[in-house]
Each structure stands twice: as C-alpha cells, then as structure tokens.
A and B are shown apart, each in its own frame.
Chain A
Amino acid sequence: MESVKPILELKQIIKRYHLDAGDVLALDRINLQILLGEMFAITGPSGSGKTTLMNILGCLDVADEGEYILDGEDVSELEGDALSNIRNRKIGFVFQSFNLLPRLSALENVEMPLLYAGVRHARNVATEALETVGLAERLHHEPAQLSGGQRQRVAIARAIVTNPAIILADEPTGNLDSRVGRDILNLFHDLNAQGRTIVVVTHDSGVAKHCAREARIRDGRVVDILEHSSVHTSGTAEIDPPLAATG
C-alpha cells in the first residue's frame, strides 16, 4: 500500500483556539497520510480534536501551523473564496444530519455544487449521481418527502457529483437506525470499490471497522493507526435489494 500515492497529507498541523481562559491546543502536530482510493476512519471521543481535524481536512478551516497537501495542491495558506473553490472541486461532504436544502428537490440539491462550479449540463450529471446511489425514482422529491436513509443517499450523490478527490463523511450513520446505517456503509463500500477515496469521521468503532485503516485521535494527537485486515468486504453481494429501493 506504501506504493500508492497519498491523496492528502497533513504535516505537523497545529490548531489553537483562543479562549478567555487561555489558548487551547486543539491539534498538536498532526501528521497523517490518506491514500488514493482508501477508505479511512478517523475516530476519537468528543473533545479529542476530531471535529477540528475534520474541519481542516474539509477546508472549512485552516491550520495555524503545518502543511496540508490535498490532491497535490498546498491548501494550507488559502482562505475565503479560494477555500470555497477547493471545497467545491476536491471535497464531497456527507453530514450526520444530511444538510440538504429544504425547499429544493433531490435533483436540485445534487445539482447545486455543479451550478457553483459553472458546469454545463448539470442536470444530466446530477441525475447520473442519483442513479448511482439508487434514487433514480426520487429525483423530484423534496427532502421532507424522503426517509432518513434516502436523504443521506441524496447527500452522498451531492458529495460525489463533482467527482471530488475525497468524500468526507462526518458520522454518516449517526442519525440512522442500524439497518439503514449498514446500507449506507455498504454504499460507501461500493463507491470505494469504484476507486473513490472516503474519509469517515466517527466515534463509532463499529463504523470504523468498515474502513481499511483507522486513525485514533486523543488530545489533539494521532495516538494510533490501526489496520483492519478483515475489512468487511461489501461488494454487491452484501447489498440487499432494499438498498436500491427504500434505504
């Protein structure tokens, strides 16, 4: 696996928060490499710096010190609209609470990143993405008319529609019951099998076991990197018909 080139690389990342009580070191010299086509978990209890790390990985925030190379591009010094562009092109977010735009249809939600990118024929591309996640029948439904699992599928379609370097999923199964959650994880496996790099941030060790590697964060440091040899091989065999239907 060492021969595969890293899709993202963190070097000596430091992030501090300035509070009235004094500075808090949220990330303390984090070094991390995630490889192209990898399914990677970042785990840790609340307060470990996991969320801060995710914000930096997702280019929602920048580190105070250190270097962040994403898909061959140094994004450590970017800010504002430049970060927006990076997020648009290189990162697909999947959130715990789905974060779909309420008054838009599934198709319009998935289209949105393409519109910001100025892509032509966004509608066709978005339709394809929704077909990929098994929602070809639900294109014109609004989020309120969809089940939790279906909403998360729309969110995943939105994340993959721009063909980003990484998919960054923050507790993607946290708001779903276990059966639907398993379907979503299987969907991630499928996407991973198609060569997409997926980073899952979670406190759930069950979810982390689905990933090839897992970085454990404690007190702003990477304390351990685990390899899950017996990775839950998903494949299509695992995916029951309900996955494609209701979720």
Chain B
Amino acid sequence: MLFWTTIKLALRSLIGNKLRSVLTMLGMIIGVAAVIAMLALGNGVQSQITKWVSRMGKNTITVFPHNPRIPPVLNGAAEPLTLGDAHAILSIPGVKYVSPVVADSKPVKWGNYHTYCNIIGCASTYILIHDFKVQSGQMFNYFDIRDMASVAVIGPETATRLFGSQNPLGHTITVGTIRFKVIGVLVPKGRQGWFDPDNQVLLPYTTAMTELMGQHQIALNHIDIEVQHASDLTPVQNQIQTVLRIRHSLIDGDSDDFWIASQLQIIKITNRIGGAFTMLLGSVAGIALLIGGIGIMNIMLVTVTERTREIGIRKAIGARQRDVLRQFLIESVLVSVIGGVIGVGVGVVSAHFVKFRHATGVVEPHMILLALCISAGVGVFFGYYPARRAARLNPIEALRYE
C-alpha cells in the first residue's frame, strides 16, 4: 500500500518537474542507448568476421612460417616454409589439395591504366581450396607451373580497374616489371573485411618465386591445405606438425617454428579479438552511463534539498528513516529505469544504423536485460547517497526549512 503510494507520488513529482526529469533521464537514455548500440556493433563485427572466415573455404588449414607465440627475436633462427614442406604435406593421408603461396603487393599496369593489388603466387589448386570460380578464360594448370609460364588470372575488380568494360583475356599486363598474359578472370566473391579477394592477381608460384619476388626466393608466405572431410582436420593438423618438426630438425623441447591454423582456430582468435573490441566499445559507453548516473545523483541532491520541508512533515507524522530512504530511492530508480527503457528503444533503433566497415549492430535479448539491470543499478547506486541524506535529516531543522 505504502509502496504503491510512494511510486505514485514519485511519478507525480517527476511529472511536476517535467523538464528537469527529462534532462536527467537524457543522461541515462544516452548512456543506455550507447551501451546497447556499442554492444550490438561489437557483436555485429564479431559475427561478420566469423562469416568472412567461414567464407575462406571449408575444411581448410593454413600453415604459417612463424609461431606467433614466440617473440620475433627468437624467430630469427626459424626455418622458412619451403616447397619441400608443401610436397611433404601433400603426401599426408586425408589431404585433398595443397597450394604453396607467396604473396606481395605490386603495381599492375595495362597500357596507361594502373592499379595496385595483391599478387598471389600459387598452385592451380588455390582456387579450389578458396572456392574461387573462373568467369571467363581458365585457371593456369600444371604445365604452366612446370614451365614457369608468364600467365595471370585476375580478379574481377582488377579487371574493371585496368580494362574497364573491355575483355582482358589475351592482353598482356605488367606486374612490377614482368609481363604476363591474362588467361582468366575470377567470379566476384565480395569484399572480406580488410582483404579484397576481387582485386588480386594469381600467378603460377614458380614464376612468381623466380621472376617476381627476387632472386630465387625459397620461403613461402604460407601453405594452404584442404582436407577431404571435416573429421580429417585434427589428424591432418597433427600429422603436419609431426612432418614439419622432422623436416625442420626440431628436437623435443623445441617450440614449433611454424604455426598451423585451422579455420576453427582462426574463428576462435577472431572471436577473442571481437570480444575485446566489444569490451572496449562497451566501456566507452559505460562512461556515458556513469555520467548519466552522476546527473541523477546531482538532481536527487537538489530534490532532497528542495523537499526538506516535506521530509520534515513526513518525519513528524511518523516516517522512519527507511521510509524516507525508500521514497527517494524509488524516485531515482524510476528516473533511471524509465531512462533505461527509452534508452533501450533508442539503442535498438540506432543499432540498425551504426556501421563499422560492413558490420551492422546485432542486438541480442541479453544485452537489453543487461542494460535494464545496469540502469536500475545506476539508480540505486547514485540515488542512495541523496536518499540517505534525506533519511537522516533532523525533523526539527527540516520543518523549519523554508
């Protein structure tokens, strides 16, 4: 009974000071909306990354030459990944395709047209591993690789930049200083975050390693592998580790001087990065919420002072400390929760509009629950001190207050 009267009264006093209540709530609204929008954005980025990673290809494993867990200084002695390593991996049971990869960025030219793109030296299996399709012409084959042919397969974006609407097939482009004949154009795949698979030039790895990347480079940037079945991922990974440790003459106790990343691991890592990103965004938004809370405290202190006489009257007619405390706490929680509810609405709407690269916000129910709990918590936390101050007022002095 008293509880409902108190809520009714708190609502009336909020309505009685409309502008002040709205401004106080505004702090909470902005804070909660920011929390929702930022968490949603972090969430969206994370799921976008997961999508990109899964688009890299199914059942793939990538072997990198350095163990990221070892500081770079100690990596100096690491053996590079070589074509020999790639061949050794090819003979592991369960492996379907292997492609050695050397990569670089270089200017590419056709006539007066220039662009700058990723140059990938790879095997013909590269497009199978990564799910690329050729829209016109064809992929280079075993013979092109064996003969170190000067042929190139280009991405659709690269084709547009160099050739416009013309058909690039049969034309000769210059990559760095070497001339290559365009024999195929890939089907667009869509941008994958920082990496644009549509703007690249694929070359036979033999040609790329001998002609383009300097004098007979032997180090590979990575080795891309596809296994037969998803169930082969783990055994193949273990086999690769065993094989490479033997080939690199590592003894027990040495750390791997290479790093085997399956899609699963990459997803795990990107999730961790995404989580950190979300935390960062969330804490920035949390600061907005903190400021909203301070606003509430400030206004509640003013309210308590203004209503000193009312507090005196209540105490004279028998209000105990906890009655007064509860009354003001309910009022501050009401402000923060109403602000929080509106903030959730604003946050959910704005989550659809905030963008980071290609990720939009994704709101989940637990975020809304969290935001509402936090806003109620803010009301209690920042309302407690003013409410306690009200509760402890001396009734005589409070009654005398004009």
Which of B16, B315, B316, B318 is most buried by chain A, counting CB atoms within 10 A of its CB?
B318
Contact A112/B396 with A81-B321, A103-B13, A103-B16 known, Cβ cut-off 8 Å: no
Nearest-CB distance from B304 to chain A (Å)? Answer: 15
State whether A116 touches B396 (Cβ < 8 A).
Answer: no
Residues of B within 8 A of A118 (CB): 2
Residue on B nearest A122 in the bound complex, by CB: B1
Knowing A101-B310, A115-B2, the reply to whether A88 touches B317 (Cβ < 8 A) is yes
Q: Which of A84, A89, A95, A102 contacts B315 (CB 8 A)?
A: A84
Contact at A108–B318, with CB atoms within 8 Å? no
> For residue A104, which residue of chain B has the nearest CB?
B9
- Contact (Cβ within 8 A) B396 A61: yes
B399 touches A89 (CB 8 A): no
Contacts of A158 in B (CB 8 A): 317
Chain B residues contacting A108 (CB-CB under 8 Å) are 5
Tell whether A40 is near chain B: CB-to-CB under 8 Å: no
From 49 to 87 in chain A, residues with beta carbon under 8 angstroms from any chain B beta carbon are 55, 58, 60-61, 80-81, 84-85, 87
Q: Is A33 an interface residue when CB atoms closer than 8 A count as contact? A: no
Q: A55-B396, A60-B396, A112-B314 are in contact. Are A103 and B9 (CB under 8 A)?
A: yes
Within 8 A of A (CB), among B354-402: 395-396, 399
With a CB–CB cut-off of 8 A, which chain A residues contact B9? 103-104
Which residues of chain A (94-110) have a CB below 8 Å from chain B? 95, 99-104, 108
Q: What is the distance, in angstroms, from A213's C-beta to the closest C-beta of chain B?
A: 25
A115:B1 contact, CB within 8 angstroms: yes
Q: Are B316 and A116 in contact (CB under 8 A)?
A: no
A113 contacts the other chain (CB 8 A): yes
Chain A nearest CB from B18 CB (Å) reads 13
Residues of A within 8 A of B317 (CB): 87-88, 93, 112-113, 116, 158
Judging by beta carbons under 8 Å apart, are B323 and A116 in contact? yes
Q: Does A117 contact B (CB under 8 A)?
A: yes
A201 vs chain B, min Cβ distance (A): 14
Closest Cβ–Cβ distance, residue B20 to chain A (whole Å) = 15
Which residues of chain A come closer than 8 Å to B319, judged between CB atoms?
Answer: 84, 116
Across the interface, B2 reaches (CB within 8 A) one of A85, A116, A162, namely: A116
Complex CA gap A102/B306 in Å reads 13
By the criterion CB–CB under 8 Å, are A80 and B396 in contact?
A: no
CB distance from A107 to the nearest CB of B (A): 11
Given A116-B2, A116-B323; A103-B318 close (CB under 8 Å): no
Contacts of A61 in B (CB 8 A): 396
| Most chain A beta-carbon neighbours within 10 Å: one of B1, B317, B321, B323 | B317
* Shortest Cβ gap from B394 to chain A (Å): 9
| B320 on the A face (CB < 8 A) | yes
Q: B56 → chain A, closest Cβ, in Å? A: 65
Q: Which residue of A lies closest to B317 (CB)?
A: A113
The answer to whether B318 touches A58 (Cβ under 8 A) is: no
**Nearest B residue to A113, CB-CB:** B317
Q: Which residue of A lies closest to B12 (CB)?
A: A103
Q: Complex: how many Å from CA A145 to CA B309?
A: 20
The interface centre, meaning the residue of B9, B312, B399 with most chain A CB atoms within 10 A of its CB, is B399
Chain A nearest Cβ from B41, distance in angstroms: 42
Instruction: Produce 1/0 per residue, A140-162, CB < 8 A to B.
Output: 00000000000000000010001
Cβ A87 vs Cβ B1 within 8 A: no
Residues of A within 8 A of B310 (CB): 101-102
**Could you mark each residue 284-316 of chain B with 1 if its beta carbon is under 8 Å from any beta carbon of chain A, else 0?**
000000000000000000000000011011111
Query: For A122, what are the chain B residues with a Cβ–Cβ distance below 8 Å?
Result: 1
Q: Are A117 and B318 in contact (CB under 8 A)?
A: yes
Chain B residue numbers with a CB within 8 Å of A162 are: 318
CB distance A89 to B396 under 8 Å?
Answer: no
A1-29 contacts to B, CB under 8 A, are none
**B396 adjacent to A84 (CB under 8 Å):** no
How far apart are the CA atoms of A120 and B317 in the complex, in Å? 17
Instruction: Give the residue among A88, A95, A118 with the most B Cβ atoms within 10 A.
Output: A88
Contact of B316 among A85, A99, A117, A120 (CB under 8 A): A99
Give the one of A58, A88, A115 with max B CB within 10 A: A115
Our pick among B16, B313, B320, B321 for the contact of A101 (Cβ within 8 Å) is: B313
What distance in Å separates the Cβ of A71 from its nearest Cβ neighbour in chain B? 15
Chain B residues near A88: list those with CB within 8 A.
Answer: 317-318
Residues A89 and B321 in contact, CB atoms below 8 Å apart: no
Interface residues of A in 105-133 (CB under 8 A from B): 108, 111-113, 115-118, 120, 122
Output the least CB separation between B376 and chain A (Å).
24
Supplied contacts A60-B395, A116-B323, A120-B1, 4 more A-B pairs, CB within 8 Å: A85-B320, A89-B318, A103-B16, A115-B5
9 residue pairs of the A-B complex, CB under 8 angstroms, read: A55-B396, A81-B321, A89-B318, A103-B16, A113-B318, A115-B5, A116-B319, A118-B2, A162-B318
